[in-house]
Structure 1
Amino acid sequence: MIVWLNGTHGAGKTTTGALVRQLIPDSRVFDAEKVGETLMDVTPGLPETDNFQHWPPWRPLVVETARRVIDYTGGTLVMPMTVLVERYWHEISTGLAQHALPVRHFVLHADQATLRARIRGDTVLGPDSPFRLRYLEPYAEAARTWLHREAEVIDTTHLTPAQAARQVAQAVRNREVRPPRANPPL
């Protein structure tokens, strides 16, 4: 199984993903960003882009890598990765489905003010990361138009990463399918 943690920068995907791994037996974290980093190392470089997800090889390589890891290890892959382009999400989720890999897609959501404060207060990547702030509006647009319909939304605005991780792990353990719900405020 794949537990995909989506959402924009500052929502808590990486921290929550590490905690989810501790709560779900036989699970591992796979950061699909590493696939993008590998593509960035191709020499001479691939065509210029502002986001490696725009390179067509990235999506099938994420699918193939996840499939191969699960074939090798079994268990659950926890994948904290922002995907804000609907077509890209459908390529990935369809590819995983073609390999009979069930996906639980969660969006870790927070309101814009909370996201900005978290990004500005980040002591690991540094405050005011322009790269991360640049994705706040595309996230809000994706949330309004498709993303929150495609996933189980966990509003992390007032949650610690541990609380969000417990909600994800409990939902996975229950294997319940939640009906779509109204989008939380952006």
Structure 2
Amino acid sequence: MTVIWINGTFGAGKTTTAGNLVNLLEGARLFDPEHVGYLLRANLQDQQFTDFQQLLPWRTLVPIVMDEIIRFTGHDVIAVQTVLVESYWQELESGLRSRGHDLIHVVLDADADSLHTRIDGDPDGVDIRPWRHEHVDRYLTARPWLTAAANLVVNTTTNPADAVAAQIRDYLANSISKVG
């Protein structure tokens, strides 16, 4: 089965693109790695961390939970999660590949001004806007390794989410036809 991991920072269009993509791909379902983090936060209240991804159990459990969902449903999975630390990405990638899954790493990219404008325009998460804005700089720092590690990089600065989802679908169709 295939895992399509949509990466990029806040404002890049990951969630909207993933919602469109799941409608374009038969037998695909959304998976939110954040929920694994919620489970860990509830059970590791005595531990110090500022982000779920800092926890080795998160990086270990996400591939395991995804694998179990794939095995249970028989569906490909679309994961939406920003991962800006290269070693964390390598752990997730290794965990998924070791379970026999094809992994398509898609990075949604946009210029910094567009990202900041989208963050300010998002009616959800007004209270965490400063945190989201800080992640834009972290994303720009991580961009070189992210784009090098990606199977597909899509510029979302001017492309709407439905067009981005169609581009990902077309990439997947061409990738599968070359393998088969």
Q: Report the TM range for the smaller structure's normalisation.
A: over 0.9
Question: 2:20: which partner in 1?
Answer: 19
Question: 1:51: which partner in 2?
Answer: 51
Superposition pairs of residues 30-179 of structure 1, within 5 angstroms:
30-42=31-43, 45-126=45-126, 129-144=129-144, 146-151=145-150, 152-175=152-175
Give SS of 2:122's match. Answer: coil
Counterpart of 2:7, as a letter, is N
Deviation at 1:86, TM superposition (A): 0.5
Larger relative helix fraction: 2
Deviation at 1:75, TM superposition (A): 2.1
Deviation at 1:46, TM superposition (A): 4.2
Q: Residue deviations 1:122-164, cap 9 Å, x none?
A: 01223771121111111111102x1100001100000111111
Q: Distance in 1 between matches of 2:129 and 2:50?
A: 15
Q: Distance in 2 between matches of 1:170 and 1:20?
A: 11
Deviation at 1:48, TM superposition (A): 1.7
* CA RMSD across the alignment: 1.5
Q: Residue deviations 1:49-101, cap 9 Å, x none?
A: 22110011001110000000001111210001100110010001011111110
Deviation at 1:7, TM superposition (A): 0.3
Give SS of 1:66's match. Answer: helix
Q: Distance in 1 between matches of 2:41 and 2:46?
A: 7
Q: Percent identity of the aligned residues? A: 35
Question: 1:28: which partner in 2?
Answer: 29
Q: Distance in 1 between matches of 2:128 and 2:143?
A: 22
Counterpart of 1:38, as a letter, is L
Pick which of 151-160 and 168-177 moved more: 168-177
Q: Distance in 2 between matches of 1:105 and 1:142?
A: 15
Number of equivalenced pairs: 175
Q: Is the 8 A contact 1:120 1:128 kept in 2?
A: no
Give SS of 1:28's match. Answer: strand
Q: Distance in 1 between matches of 2:166 and 2:4?
A: 13
Deviation at 1:38, TM superposition (A): 1.3
Q: Distance in 1 between matches of 2:128 and 2:113?
A: 13
